[in-house]
Structures are given as structure tokens and as C-alpha cells.
Homo-oligomer: A and B are copies of this chain.
């Protein structure tokens, strides 16, 4: 049995071609054969891409971590004829970052696709574990912010206007649930599969996999022979974003289709933002910022202030 493909009885018929179905799709109330599954998968991506104001000839920079989502996004966009290039940001997490880069290198090498790697430490002077050590708090939201910021800066530096990220339906629906349950309504406007550029130094962001569930992407990788990094980041254990995805998955298993209905109805009712919050230019680095200082420079000044050993570790007490 192909990994990622669950077994169905031998009599199961493909919803499209009536051939033998091997792939159950409970949220679509259907079963597919491998060929029709690939066609379904590519159609979902095409439907997504058609909604984005991106010409088919536009070169796309694909942010790749080495996990299933970003490699599947890169693979399907390449198969659909888009001109793509990979961008990997090395976070400096022992073991995990090497494995991530190896996974990207293997994927790109086998397919002859171009890619580039940048290191967080080389760009801002700190690796994720070093930031974690100094900040002494859960790293996920800081790491997310840094990846977003770097992705933007590096894509402009690499000469791209559009950057692709691998966020899937589970990610988007989970984030929506989290923002609603925690009453963070101020983030709901940004919950879209296409984020336009609203500043000359800001690339537009595309999420071509937003119509596809994690399990569908896993099946796609299995059928396409994409070997991805299974391991999750060792620093993300217990992240609240995981809990919201798990809660939604719990509901999905009892009421198949819940995740899609939840996300797609939200998106269909979403009104365009009348006047997006205007950016300023960061006083230190000139990058887009919501205040006088951008989030990266803000973090950097905090990190430098924390350069001293912690008082509890025997250093001098603060005055």
C-alpha cells in the first residue's frame, strides 16, 4: 500500500471515472482512484490560483521548509507550468535545520529545480535557538514573525514580487478558529489566501494549497514520490496553534466537511478591507513598519539588551 493512502474495499468505485478507488475522501463524500485524485488536487490548486491576481507567466518564489506542504506546493505549481524557485531559510535549530535543508536539496536535486538558501543568523545575527535562550518564552510567534519578515526582505532581494507559502486548509481553518475563540478579531482581515502588497517593499503572498487538507497533501506527496521531512520543529511542542487544529480535526472526524465549510463560508462572507492600516518606514532599517520601528528591529534591540547573563545565573543585579 502506498504510504498516505488508506485502504478501501476492493469494490470501492472512483467518483469520477468509476474505476477502482483507493483513496477515501470523507470530507467530499467521495472516493478516488490515484489519477483522478491528482486531477482533483491540481484542479483545487488551479481554482485557488485563478482567484489570485497573478499572471501565469509571473515568476514565483516558493518558501520551502522541507515539510509536506511547501514541497507539495512547489511540485504542483511546477507541474502546472509556473516558473518557480525555492527559498529556504535556515533557522539554526540543531538537527532539525540540517534535516530540513537536506529534504529541500533532495527534492530540488531530483527535479532539477533552482533554489536558494539564506540563514537567519547571517541576516539578523541570531539563530532561533539563541533567540529562544535570550527571550525565555515560547518561540513560535517570534519565529513566525521573523520568517514572514525575512521572506519578504529576501524575496525582494531575489527580485520577486510574489511569494508562495504552503499553508493548507487545516492551517487556515485552525488559525481562524483560534482567532475567533480567543476573540482576536483584529486578525480576521488578514485571514485570506492572497495578501496583496500594500507597500513598495512588501511582496504579495499566495497560499495555493488553502483549499486542500493536510491528509490530501500527504496523499499527493505519496503519489508523486515527494520525500518530505516528517519531523516537526522540536521547539514547537505544545504550540497553541496545534491545539486549535486538533480541535477542528476532532469535529471533522465527527462531521466530515466541517473544516472546509467553516473556512470557505468565512472567506465567501469576508468583505474587502476598506482602508488597510498604513505602513511607515522603519526608522532603523527602512523596512515597512506599523510603528516607528519594525518588529525585527524591535526584537533585535530586546535581544541586545538581554545580552547580559540573567540575574539568577550569577551576573550583576539590575540597578
Q: Which chain A residues have a beta carbon within 8 Å of chain B's beta carbons?
A: 177, 180-183, 238, 240, 243-244, 246-248, 250-251, 254-255, 258, 261-262, 265-266, 269
Q: How near does chain B come to A261, taking the closest CB pair, in angstroms? A: 7
Q: How far is the CA of A261 from the CA of B181 in the complex (A)?
A: 8
Bound-state CA distance A182–B246 (Å) is: 17
CB-defined contacts of A265 to chain B, threshold 8 Å: 183
Cα–Cα, bound, A250→B181 (Å): 13
**Leading 3 A-B pairs by shortest Cβ distance:** A183-B265, A247-B247, A243-B254
The majority secondary structure among interface residues of chain A is helix
**B-side contacts of A244, CB under 8 Å:** 251
**Pairs A–B under 8 Å by Cβ, sample size 15:** A177-B181, A180-B180, A181-B248, A181-B258, A181-B262, A182-B261, A182-B262, A183-B262, A183-B265, A238-B254, A240-B254, A240-B255, A243-B255, A247-B247, A247-B251
B247 touches A182 (CB 8 A): no
Complex Cα distance A257/B238, Å? 17
Bound complex: CA A240 to CA B182 (Å): 22
Cα-based distance from A266 to B181 in the complex (angstroms): 9
Chain B positions within 8 Å of A240 at CB level = 254-255
**From residue A134, how far is it (CB to closest CB) to chain B in Å?**
25
A282 to B177 CA separation, bound complex (whole angstroms): 40
- What 11 new A-B contacts, CB under 8 Å, besides A182-B262, A244-B251? A177-B181, A181-B248, A181-B258, A181-B262, A182-B261, A183-B262, A183-B269, A240-B254, A240-B255, A243-B251, A243-B255
B residues near A246, Cβ cutoff 8 Å: 250
Is there an interface contact between A181 and B251, defined as CB atoms closer than 8 Å? yes
Residues of B within 8 A of A262 (CB): 181-183
Q: A250 — which chain B residues lie within 8 A by C-beta? A: 243, 246-247, 250
User: What is the CA–CA distance of A261 and B258 in the complex, to the nearest angstrom?
Assistant: 23
Would you give the shortest CB distance from A275 to chain B, in whole angstroms?
22
Minimal beta-carbon separation of A177 from chain B (angstroms): 7
Collect the chain B residues with CB atoms within 8 Å of residue A183's CB.
Answer: 261-262, 265-266, 269
Q: Is the CB of B177 within 8 A of A258?
A: no
- Identity of the chain B residue whose Cβ is nearest the Cβ of A250 in the assembled complex: B247
